[in-house]
Amino acid sequence: MCDDGSTHKHSRIVISPFSQQSKQWINTRENWRKARRSKIEANTERTDLADYEFFTFDGPSKKRLKERLQSCIGPDEVIYILGHCAPGSIDLSKE
């Protein structure tokens, strides 16, 4: 947890191995974004809810993901990882 004196929001980091340009990723991202916005708007009492942060393994997004994960990750943040794998596998893929 960081102790930099700022107020931390309950953010959600979403990581996907899919291309930023794939239709599957675009649809998934938009559906997640709409659901999160609805939750934030419904919780008028809370001011600490933040939108999802979406990252892929494509170019600039991969660099921003690395920087984000090296920054201050607090206890109120959740990381979601989307992808496919097989039982016992250490690989995550878009296949």
* Mean pLDDT value across residues 52-66: 85
4: pLDDT strictly greater than 50: no
Among the listed residues 25, 27, 26, 80, the one whose alpha carbon sits nearest the alpha carbon of residue 52:
80
pLDDT at 16 over 80: yes
> Are β-strands 78-81 and 49-56 bridged in parallel, bridged antiparallel, or unpaired?
unpaired
Across 5-24, average pLDDT:
73
Q: What is d(CA 21, CA 7) in angstroms, rounded to the nearest whole number?
A: 34
- Please report which confidence band the pLDDT of residue 31 belongs to, taking 50, 70 and 90 as the band edges: very high
Under 8 Å between Cβ of 92 and 15:
no
* pLDDT greater than 50 at residue 15: yes
- Residue 74 near residue 2 (C-beta atoms within 8 A): yes
53 pLDDT exceeds 70? yes
Whether residue 74 has pLDDT greater than 60: yes
Give percent of the chain with pLDDT exceeding 70.
84
